[in-house]
Structure 1
Amino acid sequence: MLVGRESDASTRCMDENNYDRERCSNHFLKYKNCRRFWNSVMIQRRQNGVQPSMPTAAERDEILRAMQKMPY
């Protein structure tokens, strides 16, 4: 899951920077925006009756490719 990648990046940053949150604020922001984006996708799919509400990995890749840039 993409949020997992963002979460892993923020955790890795904390490990590499002696747990200095200030130095990793960019990673935390990306994680927060990533969660917000995929949560909005899940809500929209749920409202449209699409199951499962979270797109599969292949669908997520397709959504991101269609956008031609990372939305977060």
Structure 2
Amino acid sequence: MAAPMASSSTHDEKTDLEQKRGPSAFTADHSVNSACLVESKISLDCIARHNYADNNKCEPEFQNYRNCKKFWNKVQWRRFWKGQRPTLPLPEDREQVKKDNADILEKIIGQSPKIELGPETGKPFTFIYKDPDR
């Protein structure tokens, strides 16, 4: 049986693209492309904390992630129709965009189920309903 041949063409192609586009051609900066990266990580950490067995215990984290995705999707559509580019704001501009689009956030939070924050989470939710009287 013949030994498999090592292919260096993939490495050469990668090197050529790095030279054309720069060293970050193959590394994604997820903070730029995903406004809900923190919420996603909180959800995944919850699932791991419960040994991937009972996802019902992570419902507050899931709802937080869903609220985040809904909010940024609506913001992107609003910015698209206004002709603003990029439609997803850069990470450094997102806090200001949250303040500017408070009407969207209030509507999403008002429509989402009222879920209590679990004490084991340890991280504040940014897109979940919080009753100010509690």
Q: TM-score range by the shorter chain?
A: 0.7 to 0.9
Instruction: Tell me how far 1:62 sits from its aligned partner.
Output: 1.7
Larger relative contact order (CA 8 Å, sep ≥ 6): 1
Instruction: Tell me how far 1:59 sits from its aligned partner.
Output: 1.2
Structure 1 unpaired stretches of 5+ = none
Counterpart of 1:27 in structure 2: which amino acid?
A: E
Aligned-residue sequence identity (percent) comes to 30
Change (3 A) 1:71 1:27: closer
Contact in 1 for aligned 2:64/2:127 (Cα 8 Å):
no
Q: Which has the higher helix share?
A: 1
How many residue pairs get aligned? The number is 71
Rounded Cα–Cα distance in structure 2 between residues aligned with 1:71 and 1:22: 19
User: Are 1:61 and 2:95 an aligned pair?
Assistant: yes
Higher Rg of the two aligned structures: 2
Change (3 A) 1:65 1:40: closer
User: Are 1:32 and 2:43 an aligned pair?
Assistant: no
Change (3 A) 1:31 1:71: closer
Structure 2 unpaired stretches of 5+ = 1-30, 103-125, 129-134
Change (3 A) 1:36 1:10: same
Rounded Cα–Cα distance in structure 1 between residues aligned with 2:98 and 2:77: 17
RMSD: 1.9
* Alignment-derived partner of residue 76 in structure 2: 42
User: Are 1:12 and 2:53 an aligned pair?
Assistant: no
- Runs of 4+ in structure 1 deviating by more than 3 angstroms, as ranges, are 64-67
Instruction: Please give the TM-score of this superposition, normalised by the length of structure 2.
Output: 0.48
Instruction: Tell me how far 1:64 sits from its aligned partner.
Output: 3.2
Instruction: Please give the TM-score of this superposition, normalised by the length of structure 1.
Output: 0.85
User: Are 1:52 and 2:86 an aligned pair?
Assistant: yes
